[in-house]
Amino acid sequence: MTQSPTAGFDLADTTWPPPPYQPPVQPRTGPDGVRLFDGVTYATTPGYRPRLLDVRTPAGEGPFPAVVWIHGGGWLDGDRRYPPPTVPADLLHGAVLAAGLALVSIDYRHSLEAPFPAQLHDVKAAIRYVRAFAEVLGIDPDRIGVWGESAGGHLAALAGLVGPGSPDAAALEGAHGVGTGDTGVLAVVDWYGVSDLPALAEHPMPPMPGAGEFPDPYEALLGGTEAERPALARAASPVTYAAGSNPPPFLLVHGTRDGLVPYSQSECLARALERAGGEVTLRPVDGADHIFLGSPDVEGIVAESVAFLAGHLGAGA
């Protein structure tokens, strides 16, 4: 006899409206013992696609310190599953897991879905979610760092600097997903991220080959030009929050010939962090363009970034 599709379903377990997130899915365990929680809904907002994250935890007993990976794409594009084309996913994932770190890869709303600060709200929501479900995920909620590239580097820097004492903190923290909770992090790796949007107003965007009518990423992020929205441009700039922030340790890695995000953007953030008394390492990649194009040692850049995070998050401790 065919079983009813509603067999075992208890209407009393249903709530309305549904919660703005879902509990973690059942993980898959690979032959190497790595556990993967794939496509977890960490936040929902009516009218938008659900925001998803993946969690990979190393083989062995946790809880493990965790790194939140934030993809790039000019805030207009990108996907949690795919690092930049110069960094194979297997290299990134394998290096993090081999260091005894869990990897949390997140999606966030793109700028044509919602302008800033929606992207930061989503990063903060993901960190809150990981802390709220840390026991299920096998993560140590007290040892979380962030790592991003390009647009994701910008968001990682903001996640490290924006906290309860920041100007307009409530507006920047947001209340998506779990809604409340600590979003602080212990370390930040920022690969070639923007740090000062007003300073970029005089830096013309290079042509985007094959992109057609590709929107200006800065205007899309702000919902207008910097001249039209100067206060929002300052609010979206990590340098705005360095002073008085008690920043976590930062590693800034940037190609010296980056034609998309000038190397001076990381120099600017490094100076601001130093003035704030923060621990910051600025690592130039000589001759490299955006996404480290032209660098012969991307593997070494990944290894240095993972070692920085592992050291500050106490991996193996």
* Residue range 184-243, pLDDT digits in tens: 999 999 999 999 999 998 776 666 555 567 789 999 999 999 999 999 999 999 999 998
Neighbours of 90 (CB within 10 A): 9
Q: 149 falls in which pLDDT band (50, 70, 90)?
A: very high
Long-range contacts of 223-231 (CB under 8 A, 24+ apart): 223/115, 223/116, 225/201, 226/197, 226/198, 226/200, 226/201, 227/201, 230/198
| Per-residue pLDDT, 17 | 75
- pLDDT given at position 315: 86
| 9 has pLDDT over 50 | no
Higher pLDDT pick, 169 / 70: 70
Provide the pLDDT confidence category of residue 10 given band limits of 50, 70 and 90.
low
- Of residues 214 and 258, the one with the higher pLDDT is 258
Predicted structure pTM score: 0.94
What is d(CA 152, CA 47) in angstroms, rounded to the nearest whole number?
Answer: 23
Specify whether the CB–CB gap between 173 and 100 falls below 8 A: no
What is the reported pLDDT for 19?
87
Give the model's confidence band at 173: pLDDT under 50 very low, under 70 low, under 90 confident, else very high.
Answer: very high
Percent of the chain with pLDDT over 90: 84
Q: What is the pLDDT of residue 106?
A: 98
d(CA 53, CA 4): 32
For 107-119, write each residue's pLDDT tens digit: 999 999 999 999 9
* Residue-level pLDDT at 18: 80
**Residue pair 182/163 in contact by the 8 Å Cβ criterion:** no
pLDDT value, residue 8: 46
Mean pLDDT of 29-48: 96
Closest CA to 236 of 127, 161, 125: 161
Share of the chain above pLDDT 70, in %: 92
Size of the chain in residues: 317
Hey, what amino acid is at 40?
Answer: V
pLDDT of res. 3: 46
pLDDT at residue 209, as a whole number: 53
